[in-house]
Chain A
Amino acid sequence: MIGHYSLDLSSVWRYRELLVSGLLVSGWVGALALGLGLLGGLVVGLGRLSRRRALAWPAGFLIEVFRGTPPLVQLFWFYYCLPLLFDVRLSALTTAVLSLGLFSSAYVGEIVRGGIQSVHKGQVQAARALGLSQLQALREIVLPQAVRRMWPPLMSQAVDVLKATALASSITVPELMYQTYNATSQTFRFVEFYTVSALIYLAICLPLVWRLRRLEWRSGV
């Protein structure tokens, strides 16, 4: 009993398979979106730093658009507008991965840019003076140093993306939030299901947050 409410956790147990299947879908969407975000972010971040406008401007545009609009709006736009405008038909799951992946690319792009810009210019000059090409200097000297500084913000971005997967429920992706909602509409056990669902998200994100804190402590951020 909490106040006038009597908890009935057995209802959650009865729907455990539904919740687990939702959790698996959440994991997939999160992992794929994050993978896309890391790859896309590297491209976008390097593009933004390029001296060529044909690369820098599109990268800048993508970053501003995806950071300046709510991810829920982005998700709906991809789900409803892509088929109408370009006759592209993607499953809800693919749409969620693509949309969240691009959302994450924008943030990762800024993290990549910041990391690279934090490496002293003299490092590149020393590498170039030794005869290394621009690409070799980037790969051997700049990126390894930049990546170390990028770890804490990247972990934080991973947590953000994992939490943002819950938005995919709104376009019928059968992930954890969607299945939780389904269960409550059959049982009306809102307190039990939303609390358990929150605890599951917490259980996934907290270890990442803790690890992040250790990284920040170590790198003296």
Chain B
Amino acid sequence: MGEPMVVVEGLQKAYGPTPVLRGIDLRVAAHEVLVIVGPSGSGKSTLLRCINFLEDYDAGRVLVGGKLVGKRQVDGRLVRDTEGNINRMRAEIGMVFQGFYLFPHRTVLQNVVLAPMRVRGLSRAEAEAGAEALLRRIGLLDKAGAYPEQLSGGQQQRVAIVRALAMKPSVMLFDEVTSALDPRLVGEVLDLMRELAHEGRTMIVVTHEMGFAREVADRVAFMEHGVVVEEGPPGQLLGDPGDRRTRAFLGQTE
């Protein structure tokens, strides 16, 4: 493994008395695709939301590109970073959600240019040129002036992916991005993600799509009850898992 792009060390988080993450250690190299599978409630989504600090955690640390996310070191202790620093780090981490969350009052183009203009400080012309290139690539340039509600779920999710890409993030997080889609629309979203993987983007993908995991992942991690039970190459983890819990989970899904 090369220099890790994402490092998660000893991550712990509880909601009140309920532990959700019980010591997660993960490393993702640059250009690597890590797929995380596991039953619902295993903490996969919470893990992603801790990586870009949408959620704070109780112990452990997260580094992206060698820099701490959400925390800084003061007298040997980790404390919450300034809001400005947190925002700057988040801008380097793209995230796509199960529910798309396109901004309904803005057109497709306005959705994509918002953050590059407001956060990166690009001019409108620069941001629009970048956004149009991305929309052309996914075949939705003709929808640039449309509002999200006029698009199919699959189109909306692809725009959401492109909206994250427009920030040129160093890692992309995908949180069950096909789970809310009509089955016949899942393919177009997975196709786009497959392309991004082949481009060599660093990706962490939480999904229930085992076919996608098998085909696209460089590594697969299985999570249950807030721990990574095992991880390995997709052929091994999905084909011949070492742990009884992984076998039980895969037996249910396939």
Binding site for B on A (CB under 8 A): 120, 122-123, 125-134, 136, 140-141, 144-145, 148
B105 touches A130 (CB 8 A): no
Q: Are A132 and B101 in contact (CB under 8 A)?
A: no
Check A130–B103 contact: CB distance below 8 A.
no
On chain A, the residues within 8 Å of B160 by CB distance are: 126
Nearest A residue to B115, CB-CB:
A130
**B114:A130 contact, CB within 8 angstroms:** yes
Docked Cα-Cα span, A128 to B118, in Å, equals 12
B52 at the interface (CB under 8 A from A): yes
**Residues of chain A lying within 8 A (CB to CB) of residue B164:** 129-130
Tell me which of A131, A134, A148 contacts B91 (CB under 8 A).
A131
Asked if A122 and B88 sit within 8 Å, CB to CB, the answer is no
Given A129-B54, A131-B115, A132-B118, 12 more pairs with CB closer than 8 A: A125-B54, A126-B101, A127-B103, A128-B90, A129-B90, A129-B93, A130-B164, A131-B119, A132-B87, A132-B115, A140-B118, A145-B105
Chosen A-B contacts, 27 in total, with CB atoms closer than 8 Å, are A120-B99, A120-B101, A122-B97, A125-B101, A126-B101, A126-B103, A126-B160, A129-B52, A129-B93, A129-B94, A129-B97, A130-B90, A130-B115, A130-B167, A131-B87, A131-B88, A131-B91, A131-B115, A132-B87, A132-B114, A132-B115, A133-B83, A136-B119, A140-B103, A140-B118, A144-B105, A145-B104
* Smallest CB gap from A131: residue in B: B91
- Residue-by-residue, is B79-107 near A (CB-CB < 8 Å gives 1, otherwise 0)? 00001100110111111010101111100
B158 within 8 A of A: no
CB distance from A134 to the nearest CB of B (A): 7
Contact residues on B (Cβ < 8 Å of other chain), bracket: 20 to 34
| CB contact between B101 and one of A123, A133, A134, A140 (< 8 Å): that residue | A123
CA distance A131 to B99 in the complex (A): 19
In Å, the complex CA distance between A136 and B91 comes to 14
B163 within 8 A of A: yes
Across the A-B interface, give the 8 residue pairs with the lowest CB-CB distance, nearest first: A131-B91, A126-B101, A130-B115, A131-B119, A129-B95, A122-B101, A131-B90, A144-B105
* CB contact list, B45-63 vs A, under 8 A: 52, 54
- Nearest-neighbour CB distance to chain A for B62, whole angstroms, equals 14
Bound complex: CA A134 to CA B83 (Å): 9
- B39 to chain A minimum Cβ distance, whole angstroms, is 23
Bound-state CA distance A96–B103 (Å) is 41
Query: Max chain A CB contacts within 10 Å: which of B94, B101, B163, B167?
Result: B101
Closest to A141 in B: B103
Q: Which residues of B contact A133 (CB under 8 A)?
A: 83-84, 87
- Distance between A132 CB and nearest chain B CB, rounded to angstroms: 6
CA distance A110 to B116 in the complex (A): 34
CA distance A123 to B118 in the complex (A): 16
**A132 surroundings in chain B (CB, below 8 A):** 87, 114-115, 118-119
Residue of A nearest to B89 (CB): A131
Q: Which of A125, A131, A145 contacts B97 (CB 8 A)?
A: A125
Contact of B167 among A128, A131, A140 (CB under 8 A): A131
CB-defined contacts of B163 to chain A, threshold 8 Å: 130
> Closest approach, in angstroms, between the C-beta of B116 and any C-beta of chain A?
9
Q: What CA separation (Å) do A21 and B14 show in the bound complex?
A: 66
Pair A130/B91 contact, Cβ less than 8 Å: yes
Q: Which residues of A contact B115 (CB under 8 A)?
A: 130-132
Q: How far is the CB of B158 from chain A (nearest CB, A)?
A: 15
Per the bound structure, the CA–CA distance linking A145 and B105 in Å amounts to 7
Which residues of B sit under 8 angstroms from A140, Cβ to Cβ? 103, 114, 118
A199 → B minimal CB distance (Å) = 40
Once bound together, how far apart are the Cα atoms of A178 and B98, in whole Å? 60
Give Cα A136 to B87, complex, Å.
11
Rounded to whole Å, the gap between the CB of B134 and the closest CB of chain A is 14
